[in-house]
Amino acid sequence: MKFFDKSLLAMLALVSVSAVSHAADFKPRLIRFGYGLAEDSNQGRAVKDFSDELAKRTGGKMKAKGFGNASLGSDIQMQNALIGGAQEMMVGSTATLVGIVKDFGVYDLPFLFNNEKEADAVLDGPFGQKLAARLQEKGLVGLVYWENGFRNLTNTKHPIAKMEDMKGIKLRVMQNPVYIDMFNSFGANAVPLPFSELFTALETGTVDGQENPVNTIESSKFYEVQKFLSITKHVYSPWIVMASKKWWDGLSADEKKAIQEAAVASRDFERKDSRAGAAKAVDFLKQKGMTVTVVSDSEINRMREKVKPAFDKFAADGGAPVVKDLQAEIAKIRK
C-alpha cells in the first residue's frame, strides 16, 4: 500500500508539472547564448546549467544553445548584436558596458570589495538591480550577475611583488579607461585588447602579461604562454547575463518568468562553481610551472593609495552620484 501511495503521488506530481507547462504560454524557441570563455570553463558550465534549468521550467519548449570561445564575437560585438536583435542572450563583463551605460565603470574601481559576500550583497541588492535596469533604455535587459572573480596579474618577464615591478611591462587590459589609467599609474604600459585576441597577443609577445581571475587563467590555458602569477585581487570583476530587449519584448509573461528563474538558478550554480574552482586553480597553475607570488597586504595598501585618483577622476567625469551610492551601500553591508 505504501508503494502504491508513493507511485500515485509521483504520477500525480508528473501530471501536475505537465499540466502547468501546457497551461503556461511557452512557444518552441532556440536561444543563442554567447560567451567568451571555453566550453569547459565556469562560464561554459553555467551556460549549460541555464539551458537545463530553462528546459526544465518550460517542458523542453525553450532551449538555449551556448556559443563559447567568443564564436559569436567579442563582448562588445555581442552587445551590439543583442541591441540590434540579431542574437538573443549573452554573458559578458560589466567592464565593456561602459560605452553603453557609463556608470557600469564603478564596478571596475580598484579594491572596492573585501570579499565575495560583500560583492554578492551589492550586486543582488538595490544598487546592482537599479544599475542593471538602466540597460533597458539602451536595448539590453540585465537579468543577473555572475562571478568572474578577483583579478590577478600574470606576465612573462619576472615576478611582480611590488608596484615598481610593473614598470615597462606591456599589460593587456580590457577596453576600459579605469583599467588603462590604473595600470599606467602603476608603471605598466596598459594595452587595451578584446579578450578574444588575448591568447594570440601573449603567444606572439605583442603583450607581456594580462590580468584576470585565476579560473580564467586556468581555463584559457594562459599558463602555456605566461610564467609568473601575482595574487593582487586588485578588482572584483562581475559578469552580467543579458538578453536582447527587441527579442525580450516579444516574449510572453510566462516565458520571461521562466528565463528569469533559470538565470537566478544559474547564478547560484555559477558562483558556487567559480569559488570552488578558484580554490583549486592556483595549485593547478603551480603544477603547470607558474611561479606564484602573493603580494603582501602592505603592498596592496600602497597600490590602493596610488589609485585613489581613479575614484576622483571617475567622480569628476559624472560618476560622483553612483560612487557615493555604491560606497554607502558597502558601508551599510559592513555594519
Cβ atoms of residues 175 and 192 within 8 Å:
yes
Bridge partner residues of 228 (DSSP): 155, 291
State the pLDDT confidence band at 6, using cuts at 50, 70 and 90: low
Per-residue cell: 186: 602603476
Q: How many residues does the chain have?
A: 335
- How would you classify the pairing of strands 140-150 and 152-155? unpaired
Cα angle value 183/286/154 (rounded, 5°) = 15
pLDDT at 123 over 70: yes
User: Using one digit for the tens of pLDDT, what is the confidence trace for 156-187?
Assistant: 999 999 999 999 999 999 888 888 999 999 99
User: Using one digit for the tens of pLDDT, what is the confidence trace for 308-333?
Assistant: 998 899 999 999 999 999 999 999 99
Numbered ranges of CATH 3.40.190.170 in the chain:
27-94+113-147+238-280, 152-235+284-334
DSSP 120-168: HHHHHSHHHHHHHHTTGGGTEEEEEEEEEEE-EEEESS----SGGGGTT
What pLDDT was estimated at residue 19? 46
CATH code, 152-235+284-334: 3.40.190.170
What pLDDT was estimated at residue 20? 46
Instruction: Give CATH superfamily name and number for 27-94+113-147+238-280.
Output: Bacterial extracellular solute-binding protein, family 7 (3.40.190.170)
Tell me the torsion sign for CA atoms 5, 11, 17, 22: negative
Neighbouring residues of 25: CB distance < 8 A, sequence distance ≥ 6: 252, 253, 254, 255
Task: Give the predicted TM-score (pTM) of the model.
Answer: 0.85
What pLDDT was estimated at residue 17? 46
Tell me the torsion sign for CA atoms 188, 190, 195, 199: negative
